[in-house]
């Protein structure tokens, strides 16, 4: 939620996981802003971080209640649930995902299980498929669904609730977590949803250590499942611009109008930045940006010179680089004013040539941003509910679970797609 036109909501160090807390020594984990956490952090050391999602091999589990109906560690439930299966998309190797029957998840005492209604394909999913990263992994981290099962120790959540959630599951013990920065957890990539644990390209999803307002968030009435599945990428934009502190009435530029870029442009407009330029080569993405009130420009040629001409002498305070394209990274430095800020929020898969001397001489502040916090999720939901950010128009393609490769191919066609949704049901 935006409480002022010039900046995003801020919270105190006591309840904001983005803020340092000095000598804090407890084990932090995701918590709701208005109430203390249950002991999820203390339970984190009981979970194996070596479980390869999708393989569901209980030989990999030490003391965890891993989500596998066929090899459940609680003996009393084995006979009743053995053989239950669901459909899931399992990464096999570079360029190959198979849709397979896998054991259904079961909620442990502190977990919830969702029937997945929608899950978006992210650029990081495309990169994982291309690299064949972590065979056996069930990907999918932009999700929304309906609660199917609730663990006995979970509070505030009941079956039938519509939820979305943070994929990151911090360990609660590393040097980042113990200094109140769990979104930068050292080992999150081995123990999070779709990154070590099974993700949401499946019929059902288990969310461990569920805390309402922490790692899970209820979808208000009027926000559909596809909107809910876009809360995660929108929260990435919210997080980036919380760090950038856009100024009301000042020009801002977004380079790259993919899902994150279009979300960032809308958040900038909601924060009062004006005008907001969006630079993009795809005519489809520019048309969507135009419909959202963004002043769009073709990404070819001398982008910086054209923006400066459009502004008639006014300078650009803030540039958000969301394209990942080397020419636009260079254009970002040419576009931002001396003393301005450049925020990098794209995925970069190879080293990029950047003129650091220009950064030094012109005192440009360069900020990286990638992760999210519960506060970012809450703000993203508030922005959608208030109508300040539109999400429905960003969905250009929809695919069933059984055509996951079709969904990935569509998402990789950046000239003709923005956000591709997989609908398991």
Quote the longest CA-to-CA distance of the chain.
74
Sign of torsion over alpha carbons 227, 223, 202, 182: positive
CATH second-level architecture of 234-368? 3-Layer(aba) Sandwich (3.40)
CB 236 within 8 A of CB 370: yes
| Tens digits of pLDDT across the chain (425 residues) | 332 333 344 333 333 333 333 333 333 365 664 433 333 333 333 333 222 333 323 222 222 333 333 333 333 333 233 348 999 999 999 999 999 999 999 999 999 999 999 999 999 999 999 999 899 999 999 999 999 999 999 999 999 999 999 999 999 999 999 999 999 999 998 999 999 999 999 999 999 999 999 999 999 999 999 999 999 999 999 999 999 999 999 999 999 999 999 999 999 999 999 999 999 999 999 999 999 999 999 998 899 999 999 999 899 999 999 999 888 888 999 999 999 999 999 988 888 888 899 999 999 999 999 899 999 999 999 999 999 999 999 999 999 999 999 999 999 999 999 999 999 97
With CA atoms as reference, report the closest residue to 263 among 378, 176, 384, 164.
384
With CA atoms as reference, report the closest residue to 72 among 37, 108, 99.
108
Domain assignments of the chain as residue spans, ordered by start: 40-229+391-423, 234-368
CA distance 293 to 290: 5
For the record, the structure tokens of 392 come out as 């429905």
Residue 220's φ and ψ, nearest 5 degrees, are -65, 160
CA distance 415 to 154: 44
CA distance 22 to 197: 31
pTM over 0.75, yes/no: yes
Question: At 259, is the secondary structure helix, strand, or coil?
Answer: helix
Q: From residue 385, how far is each of 156, 191, 379, 391 by CA, in Å?
A: 21, 31, 10, 11
Q: From residue 366, how far is each of 243, 279, 325, 330 by CA, in Å?
A: 11, 19, 17, 13
CATH second-level architecture of 40-229+391-423? Alpha-Beta Complex (3.90)
Strands of the 316-321 sheet, one edge to the other: 295-298, 276-280, 252-255, 316-321, 336-344, 365-368
Strand residue runs (E) in 121-183: 142-150, 162-165
- The Cβ-side half-sphere exposure at 81, using a 13 Å CA radius, reads 19
> Would you call the peptide bond into 307 cis, given omega within 30 degrees of 0 as the criterion?
no
CB 252 within 8 A of CB 246: yes
Torsion of the alpha carbons at 271, 272, 277 and 278, rounded to the nearest 10: 20
């Amino acid at each position: 939620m935006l409480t002022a036109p010039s900046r995003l909501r801020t919270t105190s160090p006591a309840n904001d996981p983005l803020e340092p807390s000095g000598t804090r020594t407890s084990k932090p984990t995701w918590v709701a802003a208005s109430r203390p956490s249950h002991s999820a952090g203390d339970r984190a050391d009981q979970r194996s971080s070596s479980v390869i999602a999708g393989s569901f091999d209980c030989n990999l589990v030490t003391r965890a209640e891993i989500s596998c109906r066929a090899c459940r560690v609680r003996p009393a439930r084995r006979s009743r649930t053995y053989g239950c299966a669901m459909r899931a998309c399992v990464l096999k190797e570079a360029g190959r995902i198979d849709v397979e029957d896998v054991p259904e998840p079961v909620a442990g005492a502190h977990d919830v299980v969702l029937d997945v209604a929608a899950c978006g394909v992210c650029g990081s999913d495309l990169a994982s498929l291309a690299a064949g990263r972590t065979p056996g992994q069930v990907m999918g981290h932009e999700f929304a669904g309906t609660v199917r099962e609730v663990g006995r120790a979970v509070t505030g959540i009941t079956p039938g609730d519509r939820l979305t959630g943070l994929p990151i599951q911090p360990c609660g013990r590393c040097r980042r977590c113990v200094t109140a920065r769990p979104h930068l957890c050292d080992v999150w990539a081995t123990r999070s949803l779709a990154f070590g644990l099974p993700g949401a390209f499946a019929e059902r999803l288990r969310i461990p250590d569920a805390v309402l307002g922490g790692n899970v968030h209820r979808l208000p009435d009027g926000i559909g499942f596809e909107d809910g599945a876009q809360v995660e990428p929108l929260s990435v934009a919210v997080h980036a611009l919380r760090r950038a502190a856009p100024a009301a009435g000042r020009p801002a530029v977004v380079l790259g109008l993919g899902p994150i870029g279009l979300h960032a442009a809308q958040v900038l407009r909601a924060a009062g930045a004006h005008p907001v330029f969006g630079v993009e080569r795809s005519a489809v993405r520019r048309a969507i940006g135009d419909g959202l009130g963004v002043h769009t420009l073709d990404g070819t040629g001398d982008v910086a010179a054209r923006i400066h001409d459009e502004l008639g002498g006014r300078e650009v305070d803030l540039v958000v680089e969301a394209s990942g394209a080397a020419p636009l990274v260079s254009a970002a430095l040419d576009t931002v004013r001396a003393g301005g800020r450049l925020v990098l929020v794209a995925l970069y898969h190879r080293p990029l040539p950047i003129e650091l001397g220009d950064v030094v001489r012109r005192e440009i502040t360069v900020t990286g941003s990638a992760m999210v916090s519960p506060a970012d999720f809450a703000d993203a939901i508030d922005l959608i509910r208030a109508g300040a950010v539109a999400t429905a128009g960003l969905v250009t393609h929809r695919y069933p679970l059984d055509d996951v490769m079709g969904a990935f191919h569509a998402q990789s066609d950046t000239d003709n797609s923005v956000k591709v949704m997989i609908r398991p049901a």
